[in-house]
Structure 1
Amino acid sequence: MSLMEQFANPETMQSLSIGDKLAGAGITTVMGMGITFVVLILLWGCIAFMTKITYRPKKGDKAPQTTTDAAAPPSAAAADITDHSAIDENVIAVIAAAIAAYEGGSPNNLVVRKIRRISGETTAWGDAGRADCIESRKF
């Protein structure tokens, strides 16, 4: 009689040693977890397969644009706003002074030609701030 057959019978369960009981419990645990993971992997595969079959992009859909130069200086990541009435001259002067201070040059030699807002959930300034914070905490 195998160990798992002895586990099925309550009378023989009492006669098993603690080592046999632990071995049976371990086998039961591994079998249960194994079956669970196999079923989850099969479900994941079915969902991925169904997604490939049913997903049809619309004609106007485009992939989201991502910037590849996240470590570029802020002067390269200037923001573009199409509504120019939203930006006054003081904001442009402050941006020019900040860029000049960052690059260590004179604000007189710097000309801001275009300011555009970068689309996305976070701004380039927010990303740069997070990167600086992470860098300051490294040992």
Structure 2
Amino acid sequence: MNELGLMQRFADPALFESLDSGEKLIASLITTLTGMGVTFAVLIIIWVAIAIMARLLKVQVPKKESPAPAPVVAAAKAEQNTAATVAQQDAGASNELIAVIMAAIAASEGTEYVNDLVVRKINRTSGSRTAWNAAGTADCIDSRKF
């Protein structure tokens, strides 16, 4: 008679009951390791394929020449002066608002200008909730009603 291997007996429902717990444990570990091995092998193949395609399809985008540092400094000083005059004119405008506006302007200019910006701390201001917060809370509550 042809002797069946452990995995063949493990796969056959009629012969599964004849296996002792040690054989079941070994067959389960073999099945688990085989599945994980195949999964990681496929993931590595996908990773290599993406890396090769990225190198083949890499398009060299010509970089724009960065403007001279002097106009950037002059523009930054002009923005600071403008922000200072706006702050003086509007007593309700706070330093935090000006900082946020300047950060948004710097972010829209490009990554090279954002490198000098550092957000040290964000504090919640006292007062009522913002409209976005109230709308989000109401939307979340409405979605959970029966």
TM-score computed with the length of structure 1 as normaliser: 0.51
Out of 18, 21, 25, the position equivalent to 1:18 is 21
Partner of 1:88: 81
Aligned-residue offset at 1:48: 0.3
Whichever residue aligns with residue 40 of structure 2, its letter is F
- Change over 3 Å in CA distance of 1:48–1:18 after alignment to 2: same
TM-superposed CA distance for 1:51, in Å, is: 0.4
**Residues 3 and 121 (structure 1), Cα distance of their counterparts in 2 relative to 1, 3 Å cut:** farther
The code of the aligned residue for 1:50 comes to M
- 2: CA distance, partners of 1:4 / 1:24: 6
Query: Could you tell me which amino acid in structure 2 is paired with residue 4 of structure 1?
Result: M
Instruction: Give unmatched runs, 5+ long, in structure 2.
Output: 66-71, 85-105, 107-111, 122-146
Structure 1 Cα separation of the partners of residues 64 and 81 of structure 2: 34
TM-score normalised by the chain length of structure 2: 0.49
For residues 95-131 of structure 1, what are the alpha-carbon distances to aligned partners after superposition, in whole Å with 9 as ceiling and x for unaligned?
Answer: xxxxxxxxxxxxxxxxxxxxxx7612671x43xx48x
Q: Deviations over 1:48-94 (max 9, x none)?
A: 000000011122368xxxxxxxxxxxxxxxx94625332239x6xxx
The structure with more helix, counted as a fraction of residues: 2
Q: In structure 1, list runs of 5 or more residues that go unmatched.
A: 63-78, 92-116, 131-139
State the distance in 1 between where 2:116 and 2:24 align.
56
Kindly provide the amino acid, as one letter, of the partner of residue 48 in structure 1: A
Instruction: Give the stretch that moved more between structures: 25-34 or 4-13.
Output: 4-13
The alignment covers a number of residue pairs equal to 86
Q: Using the aligned pairs only, state the percent identity.
A: 29
- State how far apart, in whole Å, the 2-side matches of 1:88 and 1:59 are: 34
Aligned residue for 2:52, secondary structure, equals: helix
Tell me which of the two structures has the higher relative contact order, counting C-alpha pairs closer than 8 angstroms and 6 or more residues apart. 1
Partner deviation per Cα, 1:16-56 (whole Å, 9 max, x = no partner): 11111111111000000000000100100000000000011
CA distance in 1, matches of 2:12, 2:36: 23
Alignment root-mean-square deviation, CA: 3.0
Map of 2:11 onto structure 1: 8
Q: Displaced runs of 4+ in structure 1, greater than 4 A? A: none
The code of the aligned residue for 1:82 comes to: A
